[in-house]
Amino acid sequence: MNREPFVHLHVRSGFSFGFGVARPGELVGAAAGMGMRSLALTDRDGLYGIPRFLEAADGAGILPIVGAEVSTEGGHLVLLAESMDGYRSLCRLITQYRTSSEDRRRPTCPLPTLAGHNEGLVCLTGAVPFGLLPRLVLNNRREEAIGVLRSLLEAFEGRLYVELTDDETAAGRRNVGKVASFAREAGVPAVATGEVAYISPADHRLHEVLVASANLTALPGPEYRPTDRLHLRSAGEMRRLFAGYPDALANAATVAERCAGTVGLLGTVHMPQAILPAGKTAGKVLLELTVAGARRRYAKGGEPSVDEIKGRLKRELACIEALGFAPYFLIAHEAREIAKSKGIPVSGRGSAANSLVSYCLGLTQPEPFGNRLLFERFLHEERKDPPDVDLDFCSVRRDEVRFEMIRRYEHCGVAEAATVQTMSLRGGVRVAARALGHPPREIDELSRNVPTRFKDRNKVYVSLSGWEESLAEPAMKGHPLQDLERYRLLLEISAGLSGRIKEGGTHSGGMVFGTAEHHLSELVPLEPSGTEGLLRCQYDKDDLERVGLPKLDLLCLRMHTALHKAGVFASERLGRRVDPYDPPPEDKKTYALIRTGLNAGMFQLESPGQMHLSRRLRPRRFADLVAQISLFRPGPVRGDLITPYVMRRNSRESYSVILPELEEALRPTYGILVFQEQ
């Protein structure tokens, strides 16, 4: 009996939106638990889950195989990368057909397109019965099947396999035999795969519901499969299932050996290509811009000293140069300069404010020395994470900057980052209710007032016990779902769906750029974003960081728009120019208003929580506001640090620092850790 280690080569995760159930990490964990040494991920028309799949595989000691299920007009193919060239081919191919397909929801790849993007790829002819070749064979369209096979052999010479899958139905077994016979007659090797859509047979109901939801129908959905055997089978199960096809089992191991572990995306940073003057390096241009900016910023002299400024700039620039991040800073500076040249309000925020280089380039406004900001919180030579600069623009005119950047960097590729949307408990109720055939009015009633998360915002409902806790919430009193017996199936399905991957979206402003070596479409697949002239990466912001693709956030901020308009109105009324970005420092009337808690329209102080904290803390200077905003973060809130800070700030509680060595760091915040710098 064939005892080659079996490897699944056709596996769909939740990133096959509306089809797959499991997250990539769950699939890797299940495969590792079965003793498998390798696993492929081949989601539909995309590589969305590949970064987290690679990360999970690395942690589990599994050799990953990177691939995709590619839709064509008459079915699908499976393409697997056998090298980094194969990965880049796959990225280009997906970009090509996704950006040119008329139907964005169901893109298809023309067969001739494969010929131009086949380097480093192994091709499987698709699962039985819905794959491209099996569909033709099973519909007795033999001449067309032979024609398709010739085209594929020409594109993938020595790298083509006829895929065999068995869903363990009587019809399925007959179909496998027909496709296997065709492969033998054509002299093309066959390969056994599992056509995985979920981990366990028990997950089949969730798969059915997702398929029905994607097609906005009740159960059973389109292309209903009367089988629960699309699960991640063990090697033993696969050997028993394909005992009559030993060569197909052996070829699965051969393909795995060829492709496993060949795509390495983690641990490398791909810096964008900045536009530079002839004969100058990015480091040289950054030095010149930074020095010029420092002269403007510190023209009045005083503190800090020139030596302190020079010393810190030298240290920061050396770190930036060592990490190779100079081009990123230049592109961020370019976006700011575009805004300034057009009179568009712009400012920076986030950890970039800890950098004196950012301050001198005009990317951020807080002065690092006076505000005791540490560069190491932003960048460090021993931390290889890409930099992350957030620039806020007037919400009405942000796209002027965005599209000018796209125009300038079109040669290397520009796209927005993606987002990954998961299903809330309330969303799960709507999806499950529709699939179970409930009418629209009842669906609205069933989903109304359903909480989406626990009170502590950490735990996602994932089981019926979570539902029981949810139903105990006051908002659910008298809710129809309290009838547990009547709605038990709906509750179980919606609990199983909660937290599952729902669909992809577009980030609010994160832009990603290609490099000098590779167009962006060779580093990540691109697709339409829904905005004319703007493409979207298939990786979200966290996955972009995993694969070392820095994003530059060009964000809309309505407060910029409001401030700009307020400055215009005030200038017209007073007959002189009023700059809303240069208010009098520590204005007493402003702080008196903030202390009332009537903060509607005050950026970052207008939430109910901040209004309440303004009345308690009673801020009197800018440092108080910095602390107030920082206190309203998950760490201080969960650590119950707000009340002690308020008591000490208002001299209603004494304190002492635990160690004398911490006195200097903790004295400004009354002995409490408020800032990451501390």
Q: Which residues pair with 131 in a beta bridge?
A: 76
Look at residue 670 in the predicted model and tell me its pLDDT: 87
Instruction: Tell me if 65 sits within 8 A of 260, measured CB to CB.
Output: yes
Instruction: Tell me if 445 sits within 8 A of 467, measured CB to CB.
Output: no
Average pLDDT of the residues of the chain: 92
Q: Which fold has domain 282-420+505-559?
A: glyoxalase-related enzyme like fold (3.30.1900)
Instruction: Determine phi and psi for 8, rounding to 5 degrees.
Output: -75, 125
Domain spanning 24-259: CATH 2.60.40.4070: no
Using CA atoms, how far apart are residues 447 and 250, in angstroms rounded to an integer?
50
How many CB atoms are closer than 10 A to CB 371?
A: 15
Look at residue 463 in the predicted model and tell me its pLDDT: 40
Using CA atoms, how far apart are residues 373 and 353, in angstroms rounded to an integer?
8
The H-or-E segment that residue 149 falls in is helix 142-155
Is cis: bond before 226, omega within 30 of 0? Answer: no
Look at residue 419 in the predicted model and tell me its pLDDT: 96
Using CA atoms, how far apart are residues 348 and 354, in angstroms rounded to an integer?
11
Using CA atoms, how far apart are residues 454 and 595, in angstroms rounded to an integer?
32
Q: Which residues of the chain have pLDDT under 70?
A: 1-4, 223-224, 452-466
Residue type for position 86? G
Contacts of 204 (CB under 8 A, 6+ apart): 198, 227, 228, 230, 231
Look at residue 452 in the predicted model and tell me its pLDDT: 65
Query: Exposed e or buried b for every residue in 637-650, given b needs 16+ CB within 10 A?
Result: eeeebbebbbebbe
Using CA atoms, how far apart are residues 255 and 263, in angstroms rounded to an integer?
14
The pTM is what? 0.90
Using CA atoms, how far apart are residues 629 and 633, in angstroms rounded to an integer?
8
Residue extents of the structural domains in the chain: 24-259, 282-420+505-559, 424-499, 583-669
Q: CA angle, 477 as apex, 476 and 482 as ends, to 5°?
A: 75
Instruction: Tell me if 611 sits within 8 A of 646, measured CB to CB.
Output: no
